[in-house]
Amino acid sequence: ALFIMAGCSSQEQGTWQKIEKEGKLVVGMSADYKPFEYHDKGDNIVGFDVDVLKEVSKKLNLKLELKDTAWDGIIPGLQAKKYDLIMSAMTITEERKKAVGFSDSYFNAGQIIAVLDGNNNIKSVEDLKGKKVGVQLGTTADLEASEMEGVEVKRYEKIPQAFIELNNGRVDAVAADLPVVAKYTLEHSGVKIVGEPFTTENFGIAMRKGDTELLEKINTALAELKQDGTYDEIYAKWFK
Ligand code: ARG
C-alpha cells in the first residue's frame, strides 16, 4: 500500500512544466470581438489581446499558438485542455471564478448599448423595457440584459450577427463591451452609442484552477509590460 501511495504522490506534471517543455503558450480565444481579437482581411487573428499575448510570450521566452474557439464553450475547452489559457476580453466574474483562475486584470471595460441612428426612443438602458436587445450568448451583456425586467434578450453566437439584426430591425439595441461597440459604430454608419456604460468590468486571462505557477508567470509578465511601457504602446495602437 505504501508503495502505491508513493507512486500516486509523484506529482502530476504541472501545466507550466508542460508549457516550458513544449516551448509554447497555447491560448484559446473567440476571435469575433474587434478590436480585442478578430480576423483581419488576410485572415490572421489580430487585436489588442493578441498583441499583449505576443509580448507576454516574449517575456516568457515562449512561442504563441492561438486557438480560435466559439465563445460559448470556451471555458469547457480550457477544462478539456485544448489550450492552457483563455484571453478573450473575458470579464472576471464571481461565477467564472468558481470554474477558472484569473490573472490580474489587464483591462477595464463596461457594457454599453448601441441603436440605429434614427432611434430617438432609446436613450439609455433604462429605455429598453419592452424592447429587444441583441447580445453575444453567454457574455456578461447576456447576463445583465437577462436580469432587466421586461427586456427581450436575443442571443447570437457572435456580436457582428447582433449588429446585422439591429440593421434589419429585428432587435432594437445591441449590448456589448464599450470598446467593441465604439469600434463598430466608428466603422459602420447608421448606428450610434447611447447612454453611459451600465457595468464596470475587468478583463483577466483565465487558466485552470490550481495552475499557480502559470498564474504567477502570467501576472509577472503583465506587470512588467505595464512597467516598461509596452502595455501603453499596445493600448495606444488599438484605442487611441
Ligand atoms: N467581456 C464579456 C464577457 O466576458 C464579453 C467577452 C466576449 N469575448 C469575445 N471574444 N467574444 O462576457
111 CB near ligand 1 (under 6 Å): no
Cα 127 to ligand 1 centre (Å)? 24
Cα 136 to ligand 1 centre (Å)? 8
Grid cell digits, residue 83 = 489550450
52 and 91 housed in the same domain:
yes
pLDDT greater than 90 at residue 3 = no
CB 89 within 8 A of CB 180: yes
Total domains, the chain: 2
pLDDT greater than 50 at residue 139 = yes
pLDDT digits 0-9 by tens, 59-88: 999 999 999 999 999 999 999 999 999 999
Cα 194 to ligand 1 centre (Å)? 20
From the CB of residue 103, how many other CB atoms can be counted at a distance below 10 Å?
A: 22
Domain contains 3 = no
71 CB near ligand 1 (under 6 Å): yes
pLDDT digits 0-9 by tens, 25-52: 999 999 999 999 999 999 999 999 999 9
DSSP H helix total and E strand total for the chain? 10, 14
97 and 215 housed in the same domain:
yes
Question: Which ligand 1 atom is the nearest neighbour of the CA of 49?
Answer: 10
25 and 99 housed in the same domain:
yes
Q: What is the value of ipTM here, to two decimals?
A: 0.98
Q: Which domain holds residue 181?
A: 111-194
Cα 90 to ligand 1 centre (Å)? 5
236: Cβ contacts below 8 Å, ≥ 6 apart? none
Question: If you take atom 12 of ligand 1, which residue's CA is the nearest one?
Answer: 139
pLDDT digits 0-9 by tens, 144-181: 999 999 999 999 999 999 999 999 999 999 999 999 99
| DSSP H/E element including 163 | helix 159-168
87 CB near ligand 1 (under 6 Å): no
Question: Which ligand 1 atom is the nearest neighbour of the CA of 31?
Answer: 10
pLDDT greater than 90 at residue 7 = no
The per-residue pLDDT for 240 is 81
Which of 159, 200, 209, 166 minimizes the C-alpha distance to 181? 159
140 CB near ligand 1 (under 6 Å): yes
From the CB of residue 170, how many other CB atoms can be counted at a distance below 10 Å?
A: 12
52 and 130 housed in the same domain:
no
Cα 168 to ligand 1 centre (Å)? 24
Report the CATH number at residue 226: 3.40.190.10
32 CB near ligand 1 (under 6 Å): yes
142 CB near ligand 1 (under 6 Å): no
Residue 174 main-chain phi, psi, to 5 deg: -125, 135
Q: What is the CA radius of gyration of the chain?
A: 20
82 and 120 housed in the same domain:
no
